[in-house]
């Protein structure tokens, strides 16, 4: 593995520990698919268990750091300059249905600036990691965003709002606009992995609205450190609005125009 800092070692160790339990739980989901009750309660407990592991491991290694977590929300720390942004199971619906596409996402924000991120694809044992100014990596391989400059050759990822959530019409209009100008769209259901895939050059760009900070913090660091651009869809602050667009610098102007036809 490429050289990692003490901070990243802490994040990676926590992700791997929580990942081992999630992998075991995922193995159980298949058995539960056929039961009448279904696996939803089981998945909620797997999610909570992973979050507890991450909370304990990160607290032990960096006492005093604050947290923003999917299940427990904001946890104030004595150290007001650092806070972890953690999603213990990004892609819960995939996990619930036995689809092997989900991840653990850990971001660190220092004085309001995102400085490190880890996205761990548990089933494939793909560990995406990055630290500000140090580049982005998948396991021990350096990552670069794809270099495509023409939207017609580019593949994009997005997410759509859950049933009953606002934003469906906007989302469908954006998809229609991008699909007509590109090589295609993928909708995988795990925002952290979508951003990691932009960093790895597997997709050329990604956009989504209505996300939470724990969905996007780690992935945003990955994209930037892989030479890509991350912005807010309408020009504000994506960490406040949860509306994010990510791509390489060449594609970004065409991509954002397509999203605002």
Binding residues for Mg(2+) are: 70, 87, 89-90, 215
Is residue 106 a contact partner of residue 84, using CB atoms and an 8 Å limit? yes
CB within 8 Å of 256: residues ≥ 6 apart: 231, 233, 245
CA distances from 54 to 37, 91, 106 (A): 28, 17, 9
**Bridge pairing between strands 244-247 and 205-208:** antiparallel
Closest CA to 112 of 10, 6, 240: 240
- List binding-site positions: 70, 87, 89-90, 215
What is the DSSP secondary-structure string of 114-136?
EEEEEEEETTTTEEEEEETTS-E
């Amino acid at each position: 593995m490429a050289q990692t800092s003490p901070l990243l070692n802490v994040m990676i160790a926590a992700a791997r520990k929580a990942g081992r339990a999630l992998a075991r739980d995922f193995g159980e989901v298949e058995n539960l698919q056929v039961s009448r009750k279904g696996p939803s309660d089981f998945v909620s407990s797997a999610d909570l268990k992973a979050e507890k592991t991450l909370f304990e491991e990160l607290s032990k290694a960096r006492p005093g750091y604050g947290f923003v977590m999917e299940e427990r929300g904001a946890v104030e720390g004595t150290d007001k300059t650092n806070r972890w942004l953690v999603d213990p199971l990004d892609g819960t619906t995939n996990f619930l249905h036995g689809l092997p596409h989900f991840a653990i996402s850990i971001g660190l924000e220092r004085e309001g600036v995102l400085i490190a991120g880890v996205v761990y694809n548990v089933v494939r044992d793909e560990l995406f990691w990055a630290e500000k100014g140090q580049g982005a990596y998948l396991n021990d391989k350096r990552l670069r965003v794809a270099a495509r400059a023409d939207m017609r050759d580019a593949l994009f990822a997005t997410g759509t709002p859950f049933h009953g959530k606002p934003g469906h019409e906007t989302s469908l209009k954006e998809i229609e606009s991008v699909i007509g100008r590109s090589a295609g769209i993928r909708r995988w259901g795990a925002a952290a992995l979508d951003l990691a895939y932009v960093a790895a050059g597997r997709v050329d760009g990604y956009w989504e609205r209505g996300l939470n900070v724990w969905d996007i913090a780690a992935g945003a660091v990955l994209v930037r450190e892989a030479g890509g651009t991350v912005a807010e869809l309408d020009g504000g602050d994506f960490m406040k609005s949860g509306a994010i667009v990510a791509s390489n610098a060449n594609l970004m102007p065409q991509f954002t125009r397509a999203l605002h036809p």
